[in-house]
């Protein structure tokens, strides 16, 4: 068996740099059930990245979504999907298997899931942990981000998977959730989603109360109240950024 790769190819880092993707990594997904490549094999890994959401827009979602948030959600998802398609094409041109994972697509509406959790790839790539609100939290932008993933068989140095929560004693998202959908459980990699989030209660609340925004697909309150994001807002206000 060849030795695992110890450095990223320059063409890949250069490509990501040109796209202004600054927080990214590679995830070892062996042992996870991923979508399958053209030959019917599961992917051994993925490239995972985050795109920050406008912090001023996020900060206004403390009590419910806004039109600006719905528009920002669309803008960033579109950007991620375009990048993912292009990155997969670049990988395929170089002879590797690659498949983008679409942003915010529920391929399993019964269980309210997509093909694979972006956040699992992100924690495996070392980009952050899962907060009590069941979303990725990065050290740099908190959870005020959206995630991109491209599965590939390109051998890359994988990040150190994040194995624990850094939420500490904070429970702000749990207390702010109007649907009572968050259990308050502290995340660890083996904890099933159901132990953290009652996804049906969340979905029902959104459809009942925010149907005017993407037919009840967005909310954002639990992310907006997270101190890791609010810190970012204070920082950008301090720098005039
Ligand atoms: S998205 Fe809204 S309803 Fe769902 S868990 Fe977060 S705060 Fe609660
Ligand atoms: S609001 Fe607090 S508990 Fe919730 S994800 Fe952020 S740090 Fe964790």
Of the bound ligands, which one is closest to the alpha carbon of residue 132?
A: 2
Cα three-residue angle 227-145-93, rounded to 5 degrees: 155
The pLDDT value recorded for residue 217 is: 86
Give the pLDDT mean for 59-87: 95
The pLDDT value recorded for residue 156 is: 97
Of the bound ligands, which one is closest to the alpha carbon of residue 221?
A: 1
The pLDDT value recorded for residue 234 is: 74
pLDDT tens-digit readout, 187-234: 999 999 999 999 999 999 999 999 988 888 899 999 999 999 988 777
**91 touches ligand 1 (CB under 6 Å):** no
Of the bound ligands, which one is closest to the alpha carbon of residue 197?
A: 1
Under DSSP, is residue 99 helix (H, G, I), strand (E, B) or coil? strand
**137 touches ligand 2 (CB under 6 Å):** yes
- CA-nearest of 55, 54, 34 to 45 is 34
The pLDDT value recorded for residue 241 is: 40
Least confident of 5-9, 69-73, 188-192, 207-211: 5-9
Element (H or E) spanning 137, and its range? strand 136-137
pLDDT tens-digit readout, 169-179: 999 999 999 99
The alpha carbon of 175 and the centre of ligand 1 are apart by a number of angstroms equal to: 10
**21 touches ligand 1 (CB under 6 Å):** no
- In percent, the amount of the chain with pLDDT more than 70 equals 91
One-letter-per-residue 3-state SS of 1-70: CCCCCCCCCHHHHHHHHHCCCCCEEEEECCCCCCCECCCCCECCEEEEEEEECCHHHHHCCCCCCCHHHH
């Amino acid at each position: 068996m060849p030795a695992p790769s110890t450095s990223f190819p320059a063409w890949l880092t250069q490509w990501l740099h040109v796209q202004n993707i600054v927080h990214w990594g590679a995830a070892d997904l062996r042992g996870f059930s991923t979508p399958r490549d053209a030959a019917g094999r599961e992917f051994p890994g993925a490239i995972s990245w985050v795109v920050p959401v406008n912090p001023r827009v996020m900060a206004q979602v403390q009590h419910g979504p806004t039109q600006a948030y719905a528009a920002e959600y669309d803008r960033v998802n579109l950007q991620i999907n375009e990048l993912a398609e292009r990155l997969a094409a670049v990988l395929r041109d170089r002879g590797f298997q690659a498949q983008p994972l679409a942003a915010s697509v529920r391929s399993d509406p019964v269980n309210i899931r997509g093909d694979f959790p972006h956040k699992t790839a992100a924690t495996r790539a070392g980009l952050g942990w899962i907060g009590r609100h069941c979303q990725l939290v990065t050290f740099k932008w908190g959870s005020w981000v959206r995630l991109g993933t491209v599965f590939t068989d390109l051998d890359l140095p994988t990040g150190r998977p994040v194995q624990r929560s850094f939420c500490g004693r904070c429970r702000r998202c749990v207390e702010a959730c109007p649907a009572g959908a968050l259990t308050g459980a502290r995340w660890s990699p083996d904890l099933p989603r159901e132990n953290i989030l009652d996804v049906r209660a969340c979905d029902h609340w959104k459809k009942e109360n925010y149907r005017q925004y993407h037919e009840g697909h967005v909310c954002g309150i639990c992310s907006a109240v997270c101190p890791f994001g609010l810190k970012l807002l204070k920082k950008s206000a301090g720098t005039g950024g």
